[in-house]
Homo-oligomer: A and B are copies of this chain.
Amino acid sequence: MALSHVAPKAFIQHQNLVEQVADYLTQAIIQQHFLPGERLSEVQLSKDLGVSRAPVREAARLLESRGLLISKPRRGFFVRALNAVEFEDVFDLRLCLERHAIEHLAERYSVEAQRALEQQVEVLCEAALGNDETRRIEEDLQFHRLMLHYAGNERLLKAFDGLTHELRLCIALITKTHDAPDTIATSHFKLLEALASGSPAACREAIDYHIGVARKFVVRGVGEPGEPGS
C-alpha cells in the first residue's frame, strides 16, 4: 500500500488526537482511499499520521461503533463492506426514524423550526446549483438533522447521527447520484409544505416519498451480498 493519498505529517495538530484520527479515517474511507473490506494496519497508520498506536486504536473503536469499521479479534480493523441488503436496511431504519420525527414535528411546528428549515432548504438549493457534491450531501443531511432536532427528541437525533456515517458511506459507494441534484433539492419543499399543513399523515406520506426517491438514486448497481476479499 503506497498510500499516496496520505496527509502530510504535520496535518495532525496536537489537540485531540483521537478525534482527529477519527475524522481523517472517516474522510479517507468515504473518499474510498481505503477500499471496502481492506485491512487497516495500526502501525502503518501510526507512521503515516505521525502519532502512536494508542489514539489510532481508540479512533478505530469509535469508527467501529459508527459502523464504518469492523474489528476481528487478533486480526485488526477492516473497512466495512456494505452489501445490497445492508443498504436497504440502512434506508429502512432511516425511514423509521424520520417518519417518527416528522410526525412529532408536525404537531409542534414552531415558527423558529419553520424558519430554520426553510433557510436550510435555501442553502441546499444553492448548493445544488454548484458542483460540490460533498457539500450538497452535507447540506441535505443537515436539513434532516434539523428536522430531527426540532422534533424534540435528542436521542432520536443521536440515533440518526449514528446512521449518517453509514449513509455517507452508502452514498459515497455509489456516488453517481448526480442525475438530478436539483430535483432532490426541490423535493424538500414538499416536506415543508406537509409540515406547514400540520397533518401527520401528510408528513408521513411526504417523507416516505422523499426517502424513497433518495434510496432509488442510491440503490443502483450495488454488488451482491457477501464479503469482498480483504
Query: Which one, B86, B96, B163, contacts A97 given CB within 8 A?
Result: B96
> Most chain-B CB neighbours within 10 Å: which of A58, A93, A95?
A93
- Any B CB within 8 A of the CB of A100: yes
Give the interface residue-count category, chain A: 20 to 34
CB distance from A131 to the nearest CB of B (A): 32
**A window 1-55: CB within 8 A of B:** 14, 16, 54
A92 within 8 A of B: yes
**A-side interface mostly:** helix
The chain B residue with its CB closest to the CB of A19 is B73
What's the least CB distance linking A107 to chain B, in Å? 13
A98 to B38, CA, bound (A): 34
CB-defined contacts of A162 to chain B, threshold 8 Å: 159, 162
Assess the A155–B58 pair: CB atoms within 8 A: no
- Of the residues B14, B54, B65, B89, contact of A155 by C-beta under 8 Å: B89
Task: Please name the residue on chain B nearest to A86 by beta carbon.
Answer: B155
Q: A54-B54, A162-B162 are in contact. Are A92 and B62 (CB under 8 A)?
A: no
Beyond contacts A54-B54, A57-B58, A65-B65: 16 other A-B pairs, Cβ-Cβ < 8 A, are A14-B73, A58-B61, A61-B61, A61-B65, A65-B66, A86-B154, A86-B155, A88-B153, A89-B153, A89-B155, A90-B155, A92-B153, A92-B155, A92-B156, A93-B153, A159-B163
- The chain A residues found within 8 Å of chain B, CB to CB, are 14, 16, 54, 57-58, 61-62, 65-66, 73, 86, 88-90, 92-93, 95-97, 99-100, 153-156, 159, 162-163
